Amino acid sequence: MCTYPRTVFVCHHEVWGKRLIVCPVGEAYNRGALSQDCRLRRPHGLQTRKLIRKCDRCIEVDEALAAAKVKIQECHEAVAMKRAEKAAQNMPETCDGSGKGCDVVAIRAWMEKVQVETA
């Protein structure tokens, strides 16, 4: 097991540095005695850093996710506005807005129809 410096981020991702201490397997590979280098990494205690931030990849993903959430919210608002406009256009002409001369039965039937369509 070769020893490497390591950086640990808040998101629990790690970045490994260049090899500090070569293990016997790594030395044998460097001499040409083995066909494969050491594949195990061991962190060096004094060379391990813990950063109080996310790694670059997680920052990019969080920014993209925030932008997507904003766009989805804009779409929800646009759909709600279109539904309100459509409902206003389809409102029965039996009511003049003042409450006088309104056909309550027709308005209730229209409201039930709109609720069924949106559900």
Q: Is the pLDDT of residue 37 over 60?
A: yes
The whole-number pLDDT of residue 44 equals 86
Average pLDDT over residues 17-44: 88
Query: How far is the C-alpha of 7 from the C-alpha of 12, rounded, in Å?
Result: 10
Contact present, 49 and 9 (Cβ < 8 Å): no
Query: How far is the C-alpha of 13 from the C-alpha of 61, rounded, in Å?
Result: 14
pLDDT per position as a tens digit, 67-103: 999 999 999 999 888 887 777 676 655 555 555 556 6
The whole-number pLDDT of residue 95 equals 56
**Average pLDDT of the chain?**
84
The whole-number pLDDT of residue 54 equals 96
Average pLDDT over residues 7-22: 93
Q: Which residues contact 62 (CB under 8 A, 6 or more apart)?
A: 54
Query: How far is the C-alpha of 91 from the C-alpha of 86, rounded, in Å?
Result: 9
The single-letter code of the amino acid at 60 is: E
Average pLDDT over residues 3-24: 93
For residue 26, count other CB atoms closer than 10 A to its CB.
Answer: 19
The whole-number pLDDT of residue 15 equals 94
The whole-number pLDDT of residue 1 equals 86
